[in-house]
Structure 1
């Protein structure tokens, strides 16, 4: 088949959606399909600024949320134009990665199935992009329902999102949990010392790695709040974040207030291939997601990558994380926002590295058996064939 993966956001970029697209593309191509990606990155930079970012910024200054909605509509129009330009390639199916990519394909007259990665309206509320009980909130929910009812098939990345789509739009979808390239993300501990030297990480420091976009629902402040208790026993412990987002300033403030600047590193956005090196140099990976404005973590790609990379994982018991982590078997689950419980789990894995190694070993086996990109691609293929 000829398949077009489409998103109104940038590709590639830091974040789970971009990783999902790249990994799905690799899996489908391994199965013999021809796969292209069309994204906002294919729009010239000057057009992005002149037609989306600039006007959206000004509109938000006048009324919170209006610029956000305007930006989504503008991205849709621009993506639709790109689709019309490649329509002659006769794609068998377009797999839209969100609501407005779905609208772009529909208006371009192309056959489309939609992957739902999250909750558009609730996530916009959680991130502060729109206001609660505003016209923008009502409009976005109406747009979600319209998209879910108009596409040929719905794929969701966990069962909770499947239930959400069915509840809000009355449409039954297929839940295919997120997945990773099991060949890319695999244990690499033999290079741990070399990676630490390369990235300037002390050779003897216990390292906690948080590969998370810095946004409220990802709970990124809680490792900072939990670290002081860890430092009482392990004063040279390091907490390293990879990601960007609107929570950055709050995190910097919390770090300064606790005087732990020497123990916390905010890397910002780093390339995905470099993320693998940080998994390898770390001792423990943290995925501290929380409920926020009705949003909860789906099948976290970060958690899957950590488990595939052979690192012991501590995650919060919310959303899809409860589906992929079996507590005390292949990872540790802690109560969300519970600073003391997270601190205790961090200390436990430093006190008992052999336990962490055993958890990591079982986690890798689970990833190979249940979360391979090749197995997921086969499931997507079946849906594409049924929707042609």
Structure 2
């Protein structure tokens, strides 16, 4: 088949959606399919800035949310035009977001959609929309339109499947997120090599947060927990890989708690380097929280950590509860509970053998249940069924 994957967002970019697209593309190409990706990044820069980003910025100055709506509607229109102009005889489109779905359907190519989250709730959480505003209600209506017009909806976890049923009466197919189990394999034997490469002392206890710096990812809580952790492990080092609107809040808190020696913000880390940080870390943290109705899906970051041989501590929310068996292949703590998070961190640092046991069982689970090869086969079957 000739398969087109579409999104109104940038591709590639640092984040789970790009990782999902690239990993799915690799899996489908392994079965002999031709897979192309068309995204907002393919548009000429003057259109990106002059028609979308510039006007959206100005409209948001008038009223928060107006720019968000303008941005996505214009992205949809431009993407639909670009798909029509660059149609290489595609058999099917797999759209990755609400507005890409509508753009793809308008192109006339049979379309299925992957639903990664709750668009309106996530926009509220990020501060892009005001709850119960006219703009938020409009986005919810657009969501329902997209879910009903596509030929099949695929969700990345059971909760989002339930959301589509409740919001639009749609019966979707849940296919959990997945990773390339070959790329993200344990490399703990290279731990000191990677630490030397990135200038990290081999004797320090390293905690790694591979998350965008946004509220729903709960990124403030590991820093708050470090105030307790450093009392027992004064050389402990907390690393964040990601960018986002919470960066200034984090920097302020790091300064306030006098943790500049113990907490570092790495910024955006290229995806191919993420495996190095998993390997050099002693513990990976995925501290997601409920925020504005948003819950973590089947976190790709958590899956990558489990596949890479790193013990995982995550919050017991959303899809994280589906992938972590607490006390067996990882640790789950109560969201926003700084004391519990700090206790879990210090326990694993003091008992590394326990972490190694969790990591070994986690790797076996990833190989059996979250391989990109088996996921690509499921997607292939859905494409064939709707055709």
Q: State the TM-score bracket (shorter-chain normalisation).
A: over 0.9
Is residue 2:120 matched to residue 1:121?
yes
Q: Specify every segment of 5 or more residues in structure 1 that has no aligned partner in the other structure, as ranges.
A: none
Q: 1:28 matched to which residue of 2? A: 28
> How far apart are residue 49 of structure 1 and its match?
1.0
Q: What is the alpha-carbon distance in structure 1 between the residues aligned to residue 52 and residue 264 of structure 2?
A: 32
1:57 corresponds to 2:57: yes
Q: Distance in 2 between matches of 1:45 and 1:327?
A: 47
The one-character-per-residue Cα deviations of 1:197-247 (angstroms, maximum 9, x if unpaired) are: 111111100000000011000000000000010000000000000001101
**Structure 1 residue 191 displacement after superposition:** 1.0
* Matching residue of 2:216: 217
Deviation at 1:345, TM superposition (A): 0.3
| 2:136 corresponds to 1:137 | yes
Q: Which residue of 2 aligns with 1:81?
A: 81
Specify the SS of the correspondent of 1:4: strand
Q: CA deviation at 1:14?
A: 0.4
Counterpart-to-counterpart distance in 1, 2:269 and 2:311: 22
| TM-aligned CA deviation for residue 43 of structure 1 | 1.1
Deviations 1:36-56 (A, max 9, x none): 111111112222111111110
Structural mapping, 1:160-179, within 5 Å: 160-179=159-178
Q: Shift in Å at residue 106 of structure 1? A: 1.3
CA distance in 2, matches of 1:331, 1:134: 40
* Match status 1:9 vs 2:9: yes
RMSD (Å) for aligned C-alpha atoms: 0.6
Q: Write the deviation string for residues 131-174 of structure 1: whole angstroms up to 9, x where unpaired.
A: 01100110000000010011000000000000000100001000
CA distance in 1, matches of 2:379, 2:306: 23
Residue of structure 2 equivalent to 1:352? 351
CA deviations 1:91-137 (Å, max 9, x no partner) are 11100001000010111111100000000000001111010110011
Normalised by the length of structure 2, the TM-score is 0.99
Where structure 2 has 5 or more consecutive residues not aligned to the other structure, the ranges are none
Mapped partners of 2:339, 2:45: distance in 1: 46
Q: Map 1:273-352 onto structure 2 (within 5 A).
A: 273-352=272-351
Q: Within 2, Cα distance between the matches of 1:358 and 1:45?
A: 49
* Alpha-carbon offset, residue 86 of structure 1: 1.8
Output the CA distance in 1 between the equivalents of 2:154 and 2:93: 13
Counterpart of 1:106 in structure 2 is: 105
Q: CA–CA distance in 2 between the matches of 1:213 and 1:46?
A: 27
C-alpha distance in structure 1 between counterparts of 2:82 and 2:357, whole Å: 49
The residue number in structure 2 matching 1:70 is 70
Specify the alignment match of 2:155 in structure 1. 156
Paired position in structure 2 for 1:382: 381
SS state at 1:318 partner: coil
Aligned to 1:44: 44
Instruction: Number of aligned residue pairs: give it.
Output: 387
CA distance in 2, matches of 1:36, 1:5: 6
In 1, the alpha carbon distance for the partners of 2:81 and 2:193 equals: 47
TM-score (norm 1): 0.99
